[in-house]
């Protein structure tokens, strides 16, 4: 079966209905107690390149399960009254993830323009992935 809607179209449709935050604005929100950055990249990407300081890692494949309070996989961070700013490497996965969370009813979610690549190119601070036990 042929694909009738490619990933570029899916991302474009998502971007047309979600909030995208320019890197300069996202950098200004770093450290704001009412904002939680969420890194949805694969753990290998975090280990290789680091992440936004203080970001919560929620792998893209588990995001909806971690956000839903009725899911056995719910993570309490997503129940906090914060604005959630998602990012991936190039802002494609985060666009789709932001749209999915909006579809779940979240209105306090956005993503970073250009993703982690844009963050780094814009002089955003980078920290190593925190060690886990």
Residue 11 lies in a domain: no
Each residue of 18-44: pLDDT tens digit? 999 999 999 999 999 999 999 999 999
pTM of the model: 0.95
How many domains, in total, are found in the chain? 1
Residue 130 lies in a domain: no
pLDDT at 133 over 70: no
How far apart are alpha carbons 97 and 94 in whole angstroms? 5
> In this structure, are strands 35-39 and 20-21 parallel, antiparallel, or unpaired?
unpaired
The CATH number of residue 48's host domain is 3.40.250.10
pLDDT at 74 over 50: yes
- The whole domain housing 110 covers 17-121
The arithmetic mean of pLDDT across residues 56-61, rounded, is 96
Residue 131 lies in a domain: no
């Amino acid at each position: 079966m042929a694909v009738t809607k490619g990933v570029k179209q899916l991302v474009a449709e998502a971007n047309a209905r979600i909030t995208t935050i320019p890197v300069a604005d996202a950098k200004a929100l770093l450290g704001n107690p009412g904002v939680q950055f969420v890194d949805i990249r694969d753990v290998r990407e975090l280990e290789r390149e680091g992440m936004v300081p203080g970001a919560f890692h929620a792998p893209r494949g588990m995001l909806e399960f971690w956000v839903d309070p009725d899911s056995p996989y719910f993570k309490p961070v997503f129940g906090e009254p914060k604005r959630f700013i998602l990012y991936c490497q190039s802002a494609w996965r985060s666009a789709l993830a932001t749209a999915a969370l909006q579809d779940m009813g979240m209105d306090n979610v956005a993503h970073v323009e250009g993703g982690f690549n844009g963050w780094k190119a814009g002089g955003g601070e980078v920290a190593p992935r925190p060690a886990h036990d």
